[in-house]
Amino acid sequence: MKRLISIFSLLSVLSCSTSEKEPYDLVFANATVVDVIKGEVIENQLIAIKDDTIVRVVDMANQKEVSASKKIDLNGKYIMPGLWDNHVHFRGGDSLIAENRDMLPLFLKFGITTVRDAGGDITPSVLSWKENIVNKTLDGPFIFTSGPKLDGHDPAWPGSIQVTNSEQINDALDSIEAIEGNYVKMYDGSLTADTYYQIIEEAERRGLKTTGHMPMSADLLTAVDYGLDGTEHMYYVLKACSPKADSLTKLDLGYGMVSTLVDTYDKNLANQVYTELAKQNFYITPTLYIGKTLSQLADADHSGDSLLQYMGQGIQKTYQGRIDRAKAAKESGNNSRSKLAALTNQMITPMYEAGVHLLAGSDCGPYNSYVYPGESLHGELRALVKTGLNPQQALITSVVNGPKFFGLERYYGSVTNGKVADLLILEANPLTNIENLTSINLVVAKGKSYNLNELRDLLK
Ligand SMILES: [Zn+2]
């Protein structure tokens, strides 16, 4: 809990005592509040904001004249919590720091007021942006960050911390705690199953959340027993749903086992796994949109993408690696990515219905070709709806489960008293059609409002 308190002393949301006489900073009149948790709307509401906190939500009929620095009549427009993208990356080395920073306003442009950074190699910069965003000297979403990833003796990504024994695990977790990292992100470039379990065990002892990739030599339910809180992407839950998992592990195939896992997916076993994961309060970030984007990389022409212009030249160069690999896979006739994408779509509804917490995350950032900040989270939510979730369920994976992962549902997830004033104002109801999420009229981040002109100016 130590970590959470420090986040909020930074956000100053705990200092939200306001007297009736005091003028509010921002008031919305005639708002239609979208209750994502209940899946309903409440019309004719007045919402008052002081500093970065919602301090009053009341029916217009019960509210006399209010005094506020800024009053906006929403004329029935819809107001909901700002979106969370629960898997993003800032990375690419010192030469790309400025280009990474320049992507921050794109999140706001698309209504994303919080991101969960899943690790990279420019942590000091990410931490300074985080502080500047809170101080409102930089426009961007609030950042929860893992800091550097933990990997084995030969890390897949630059900037990762190498851990191969318990002393290094302790040092690594000390360093994550020292920078007030919000969780521990593990990566499987060369992490052994034993070290992976040991990280989880020690992080659990310290009260740190753990998620990330899992070595394909490890077993998901064993890791959950050690205290694992979540996984990113679908490979690892897929492995748990194949009766061949143990025999494939012995062959030491790494991701080479994925196509067999897809072929041997067992629905009954899967339902048992989902029930167990739900019981253990487990989180899965499916990242469907990037899965689909990468599976089509060999054929798709992205040169006309409207958001490509906002990606720096250095970031665009990082796209080439995945493009080359997709073309090589196509030439060799390897279609495992598209087979995987098709199966993972079928896994979403049964997981959701079993009670597994899903997290909407885009995996946007350098190296992840044409997965643009902001737009890609909308793509993820649309992809979740396409698998069979209704719009309310899809929204829950962003604005409700995002904070829940960090135990912060007290401060986020609804337009009610005492919550952080991160808000999205829409022309149309997102509960009836997920496409309505793009009808953005206004975005409020930590109490600061941005109208359409201001959002456009941020991108200049
Ligand atoms: Zn990622």
Task: State the distance from the centre of ligand 1 to the C-alpha of 428, rounded, in angstroms.
Answer: 31
Task: State the distance from the centre of ligand 1 to the C-alpha of 307, rounded, in angstroms.
Answer: 20
Comparing 166-175, 268-277, 294-303, the range with the smallest average pLDDT is 294-303
Closest by CA position to 131, among listed 95, 179, 94? 179
Closest by CA position to 81, among listed 420, 362, 376? 420
Dist. CA 399–CA 246, nearest whole Å = 36
Q: Give the pLDDT confidence of 147-177 residue by residue, as tens digits.
A: 999 999 999 999 999 999 999 999 999 999 9
- Which residues, 6 or more positions from 143, have their beta carbon under 8 angstroms from its beta carbon? 114, 115, 117, 126, 129, 130, 133
Q: Burial of 386 by CB count in 10 Å (0-12 exposed, 13-18 middle, 19+ buried)?
A: middle
Give residue 305's identity as a one-letter amino acid code.
Answer: D
Q: What separation in angstroms does the CA of 14 have from each of 10, 51, 55, 60, 439?
A: 10, 11, 12, 27, 32
Task: State the distance from the centre of ligand 1 to the C-alpha of 158, rounded, in angstroms.
Answer: 13
Task: State the distance from the centre of ligand 1 to the C-alpha of 338, rounded, in angstroms.
Answer: 19
Token pair 């030439």 in the structure block, residue: 331
Give Cα 106 to chain centroid, integer Å: 15
pLDDT for 264 beyond 60 = yes
Mean pLDDT of 432-446: 98
pLDDT for 17 beyond 80 = no
Q: Domains in the chain, ordered, with CATH?
A: 2-81+413-458 (2.30.40.10), 83-405 (3.20.20.140)
Task: State the distance from the centre of ligand 1 to the C-alpha of 114, rounded, in angstroms.
Answer: 16
pLDDT for 14 beyond 80 = no
Closest by CA position to 354, among listed 273, 251, 261, 440? 273
Task: State the distance from the centre of ligand 1 to the C-alpha of 73, rounded, in angstroms.
Answer: 40
pLDDT for 22 beyond 70 = no
pLDDT for 58 beyond 50 = yes
pLDDT for 6 beyond 80 = no
Q: What separation in angstroms does the CA of 51 have from each of 365, 366, 434?
A: 31, 34, 30
Task: State the distance from the centre of ligand 1 to the C-alpha of 274, rounded, in angstroms.
Answer: 23
Q: What order of strands is seen across the sheet that includes strand 142-145? A: 83-88, 112-117, 142-145
Closest by CA position to 37, among listed 404, 455, 350, 382? 404
Task: State the distance from the centre of ligand 1 to the C-alpha of 374, rounded, in angstroms.
Answer: 15
Dist. CA 250–CA 308, nearest whole Å = 44
Task: State the distance from the centre of ligand 1 to the C-alpha of 341, rounded, in angstroms.
Answer: 16
Task: State the distance from the centre of ligand 1 to the C-alpha of 423, rounded, in angstroms.
Answer: 26
Q: Give the pLDDT confidence of 129-155 residue by residue, as tens digits.
A: 999 999 999 999 999 999 999 999 999
Task: State the distance from the centre of ligand 1 to the C-alpha of 138, rounded, in angstroms.
Answer: 24
Task: State the distance from the centre of ligand 1 to the C-alpha of 302, rounded, in angstroms.
Answer: 21
Closest by CA position to 215, among listed 283, 158, 275, 150? 150
Give Cα 322 to chain centroid, integer Å: 22
Task: State the distance from the centre of ligand 1 to the C-alpha of 32, rounded, in angstroms.
Answer: 35
DSSP state of 153: S
Task: State the distance from the centre of ligand 1 to the C-alpha of 17, rounded, in angstroms.
Answer: 39
Q: Residues of 257-270 as b/e, b for ≥16 C-beta within 10 angstroms?
A: bbbbbbebbeeeeb
Q: Give the pLDDT confidence of 195-217 residue by residue, as tens digits.
A: 999 999 999 999 999 999 999 99
Task: State the distance from the centre of ligand 1 to the C-alpha of 89, rounded, in angstroms.
Answer: 6
Task: State the distance from the centre of ligand 1 to the C-alpha of 179, rounded, in angstroms.
Answer: 20
- Confidence band, pLDDT 50/70/90 cuts, at residue 76: very high
Task: Give the pTM.
Answer: 0.95
Give residue 452's identity as a one-letter amino acid code.
Answer: L
Question: To which H or E segment does residue 201 belong?
Answer: helix 193-206
Cα Rg for the chain, rounded, in angstroms?
A: 22
Task: State the distance from the centre of ligand 1 to the C-alpha of 372, rounded, in angstroms.
Answer: 13
Task: State the distance from the centre of ligand 1 to the C-alpha of 77, rounded, in angstroms.
Answer: 35
pLDDT of residue 65: 81
Task: State the distance from the centre of ligand 1 to the C-alpha of 363, rounded, in angstroms.
Answer: 5
Task: State the distance from the centre of ligand 1 to the C-alpha of 12, rounded, in angstroms.
Answer: 30
Task: State the distance from the centre of ligand 1 to the C-alpha of 455, rounded, in angstroms.
Answer: 26
Task: State the distance from the centre of ligand 1 to the C-alpha of 82, rounded, in angstroms.
Answer: 22
Task: State the distance from the centre of ligand 1 to the C-alpha of 42, rounded, in angstroms.
Answer: 37
pLDDT of residue 420: 98
Task: State the distance from the centre of ligand 1 to the C-alpha of 156, rounded, in angstroms.
Answer: 12
Structural tokens at position 165: 């024994």
Task: State the distance from the centre of ligand 1 to the C-alpha of 430, rounded, in angstroms.
Answer: 27
Task: State the distance from the centre of ligand 1 to the C-alpha of 364, rounded, in angstroms.
Answer: 7
Closest by CA position to 44, among listed 33, 30, 58? 30
Task: State the distance from the centre of ligand 1 to the C-alpha of 25, rounded, in angstroms.
Answer: 37
* Chain length of the chain: 460
Mean pLDDT of 383-390: 98
Mean pLDDT of the chain: 94
Task: State the distance from the centre of ligand 1 to the C-alpha of 148, rounded, in angstroms.
Answer: 12
Task: State the distance from the centre of ligand 1 to the C-alpha of 118, rounded, in angstroms.
Answer: 6
Task: State the distance from the centre of ligand 1 to the C-alpha of 87, rounded, in angstroms.
Answer: 6
